[in-house]
Chain A
Amino acid sequence: MNILIVEDEPALSKSIVTYLKQEGYTCAVAATAADALAKTEVFDYDCILLDIMLPDGNGLDLLRTLKRDKRTDGVIVISAKDALDDKITGLQLGADDYLAKPFYLPELSARIASVIRRRKFEGSNELELNEIKIDTASRMVRVHRHVVDLTKKEFDLLIYFIVNKNRVLSKTAIAEHLSGSDADLFENFDFIYAHIKNLKKKLAAAGADDYLKSVYGMGYKFEVA
Chain B
Amino acid sequence: MRLIRYISTRYSLYTIILAILSVPLFYFLVQRIMMHNLDESMGYQKNWIRKKLETGPPEDFTSYNNSVIIAPTKDTVVRDSFYNKDIFIPDDDEMVKHRVLESVIGVNGVYYSLRIQKSMLEDMDLVQSISVLQFVFILFLLAGLFLINRNLSRNILKPFQDTLRKLAGYRVDKHQTPQFERTAIQEFGELNRSLDALLLRNASLYKAQKEFTENAAHETQTPLAIIQSKLDLLLQTPVNGEQAGLVEELNLSVRKLQKLNRTLLLLTKIENNQFPETESIDIKTVVMHTADQFADMVTEKQIQLETGPMETCRVEANGPLIDILASNLFSNAFRHTASGGTIRMSLTQHTFTVSNTTSGSALNAEQIFRRFQKQSTDSRSTGLGLEICKQICELYGYRLQYRFLDQRHYFSVSFS
C-alpha spacing A15/B230, complex, angstroms: 6
Q: Do A179 and B296 have beta carbons less than 8 Å apart? A: yes
Instruction: From known contacts A18-B233, A102-B254, A182-B297, infer whether A218 and B222 are also in contact, taking CB-CB under 8 Å.
Output: no
Q: Do A81 and B218 have beta carbons less than 8 Å apart? A: yes
Q: Do B251 and A170 have beta carbons less than 8 Å apart? A: yes
Q: Mark A73-113, 1 if CB is under 8 A from B, else 0.
A: 00000001111100000000000000011111110000000
Q: Do B255 and A185 have beta carbons less than 8 Å apart? A: no
C-alpha spacing A9/B235, complex, angstroms: 21
Select from chain B the residue with minimum beta-carbon distance to A81.
Answer: B218
Interface of chain A, main secondary structure? helix
Q: Do B229 and A12 have beta carbons less than 8 Å apart? A: yes
C-alpha spacing A28/B269, complex, angstroms: 35
Instruction: From known contacts A82-B266, A102-B258, A153-B296, infer whether A15 and B226 are also in contact, taking CB-CB under 8 Å.
Output: yes
Q: Do A105 and B331 have beta carbons less than 8 Å apart? A: no
Select from chain A the residue with minimum beta-carbon distance to B219.
Answer: A80
Q: Is A217 an interface residue (CB 8 A)?
A: yes
Instruction: From known contacts A100-B262, A106-B232, A186-B300, infer whether A12 and B242 are also in contact, taking CB-CB under 8 Å.
Output: no
Q: Do A105 and B232 have beta carbons less than 8 Å apart? A: yes
Interface of chain B, main secondary structure? helix
Q: Do A217 and B245 have beta carbons less than 8 Å apart? A: yes
User: Number of B interface residues, CB 8 Å?
Assistant: 46
Q: Do A102 and B221 have beta carbons less than 8 Å apart? A: yes
Select from chain A the residue with minimum beta-carbon distance to B239.
Answer: A218
Q: Is A43 an interface residue (CB 8 A)?
A: no
Determine how close the nearest CB of chain B comes to the CB of A14; give it in whole angstroms. 8
Q: Is B334 an interface residue (CB 8 A)?
A: yes
C-alpha spacing A219/B335, complex, angstroms: 24
Q: Is B225 an interface residue (CB 8 A)?
A: yes
Q: Is A121 an interface residue (CB 8 A)?
A: no
C-alpha spacing A16/B229, complex, angstroms: 7
Q: What total of A-B pairs shows CB separation below 8 Å?
A: 125
Q: Is B280 an interface residue (CB 8 A)?
A: no
Determine how close the nearest CB of chain B comes to the CB of A204; give it in whole angstroms. 23
Q: Do A217 and B226 have beta carbons less than 8 Å apart? A: no
C-alpha spacing A7/B368, complex, angstroms: 40
Which of the residues A12, A182, A185 comes within 8 Å of B225, measured between beta carbons? A12
Q: Do B236 and A22 have beta carbons less than 8 Å apart? A: yes
Select from chain A the residue with minimum beta-carbon distance to B331.
Answer: A185
Q: Do B239 and A185 have beta carbons less than 8 Å apart? A: no
Q: Do B226 and A12 have beta carbons less than 8 Å apart? A: yes
C-alpha spacing A104/B236, complex, angstroms: 13
Q: Is B256 an interface residue (CB 8 A)?
A: yes
Please give, as numbers and ranges, the residues of chain B lying within 8 Å of A153 by CB-CB distance: 296
C-alpha spacing A80/B269, complex, angstroms: 15
Q: Do B334 and A185 have beta carbons less than 8 Å apart? A: yes
Q: Do A105 and B225 have beta carbons less than 8 Å apart? A: no
Q: Mark B180-224, 1 if CB is under 8 A from A, else 0.
A: 000000000000000000000000000000000000001101101
Q: Which 3 A-B pairs have the closest CB atoms?
A: A217-B241, A15-B229, A80-B221
Beyond A22-B236, A80-B218, A84-B320, 11 additional contacts (C-beta under 8 Å) are A12-B225, A16-B229, A101-B221, A103-B225, A104-B232, A105-B229, A170-B247, A179-B297, A185-B335, A186-B300, A219-B248
15 residue pairs A–B, Cβ–Cβ below 8 Å: A9-B226, A12-B226, A19-B229, A101-B258, A102-B227, A102-B229, A106-B232, A170-B247, A171-B248, A173-B232, A176-B255, A182-B293, A184-B259, A187-B380, A218-B235
